[in-house]
Amino acid sequence: MEELKPWWASKSIWTVAIGSLWGVATALDILPEGLMQANILTVVLALTGIGSVVFRKTARARIL
């Protein structure tokens, strides 16, 4: 039988959500002052993109 898990237990979904929140924060210009927004956004999106791929490849259960 295939193992299932709830969506909120998925590391892939959380990394995509975090990357999306950073993207929205940058678009709305609400990042903390002093941060180089373009540089921070590039790094965060790159890390969350890589993380979501790695987490998806290493997942052992499907999301409900």
| Residue 52 burial (C-beta neighbours within 10 Å; 0-12, 13-18, 19+) | buried
Q: Look-up: residue for tokens 């890589």? A: 50
Band (pLDDT 50/70/90 cuts) for residue 64 is confident
pTM of the full structure: 0.64
Q: Where are the domains of the chain?
A: 4-63
Mean pLDDT value across the chain: 80
Q: How far apart are CA 54 and CA 13, in angstroms?
A: 12
Q: In the block, which residue shows the tokens 């295939």?
A: 2
* Mean pLDDT score, 19-41: 76
pLDDT (mean) for 16-44: 77
Question: What's the pLDDT score for residue 24?
Answer: 83
* pLDDT exceeds cutoff 80 at 40: no
